[in-house]
Structure formats: C-alpha cells, structure tokens
Amino acid sequence: MVQYLDDPGSSRTGFVVKPNQAMSWQSLLFVYLGITAISMTIAISFYVIGLTLILPFSGLEVLALGAALYVCAWRGGVREVITINENIIAVESGRDAPETRHEFQRAWANVVLERSWNSWYPSQLLIRSHGRQVEVGRFLNEQERQGLALELKRALMLPDRS
C-alpha cells in the first residue's frame, strides 16, 4: 500500500510504502485465541476418553500456527518512507523507527523499474545514483509497484517550488 504525503506549503513530497495487512495485531490475536480454544477443547475431550496422543500434537499444531501468524504480522510491520525535497531523495526503512537510511542527490537520481527475465517473477523498483541503488516496495504487488514508479518519476520531474 502506498500513501502519498504532500505538504502544499513546502517543496517536500513523500511516500509511505507498507505491506497490505488484512488484520491488525489485536484482531489476529483474537482469531488465534479462538482457534486455540476450539482446538484444545477438542484435544482435551479426546484425552479424557483415552486418546492421549492427540493432546501433544494439537499443542504443537497450535504453537506452529502461533509462530506462523507472529512471523506474518512481524513482516507486515515494515515501512519505507521516501522523502523528496529540493536537493535530496531520502529512503528510510524500518519497523517502529528508521533502521536504514539512503540519501541520493535529486539532480542525479534515477527511478528504474527493472523487469525480470522470467515473466512470473516480480519487477524491481530501484532508485539509482552514482553507482549506488536501493530497492523500494519489494512487498508491493506489480500494479502498486508500477504506480509508485510513475509517481516517483513525476515527483522527480517537478520543478522546485521555491
């Protein structure tokens, strides 16, 4: 998902790029607890009638589901913030706070959407300058990546508003 940030009073333009999330962490936790309650109720009832091996395997299944849901939610928390001002393009990425920051001179920066040699493999959206490059939006679908590439190119071509 791409959010366009524009400050009409200044020459700064920005984009916030983040993965699409179907559910919030609280909703995901609620669904997980519901599945756990149902699964463990069934496993305990089988344990009571003498089928003892169902309980540990059901517990492992619930733990594996919890780990998978946690990893999906953790990966969905990444954000990329692309800020374009008069001289610099800054790309920051991280979860709660910026973990990495890349800066490029606006006059020399180039936005490239590289297609893969395989038709089934997604393209790469790159910002390049002076032999350095950074990939942005690798978690976006193909249409969102193409739209972001067009918006970034438009933002780079805008004249300075100063």
Tens of pLDDT along 90-107? 999 998 888 999 999 988
Do β-strands 88-94 and 98-105 pair in parallel, antiparallel, or remain unpaired?
Answer: antiparallel
Q: Which residue would you say has higher pLDDT here, 20 or 7?
A: 20
CA 106-130-105 angle, 5° bins: 15
Domain 2-20+79-157: which CATH number of 3.90.930, 1.10.3470, 1.10.10, 2.30.29 = 2.30.29
Residue 44 backbone dihedrals phi, psi, to 5 degrees: -65, -40
Q: Give the domain ranges of the chain.
A: 2-20+79-157, 25-75
pLDDT tens sequence across 68-94: 999 988 888 899 999 998 889 999 999
Q: How far apart are CA 60 and CA 135, in angstroms?
A: 38
pLDDT band at 156 (very low <50, low <70, confident <90, very high): confident
pLDDT band at 8 (very low <50, low <70, confident <90, very high): low
pLDDT band at 52 (very low <50, low <70, confident <90, very high): very high
Query: What global pTM score does this model have?
Result: 0.75
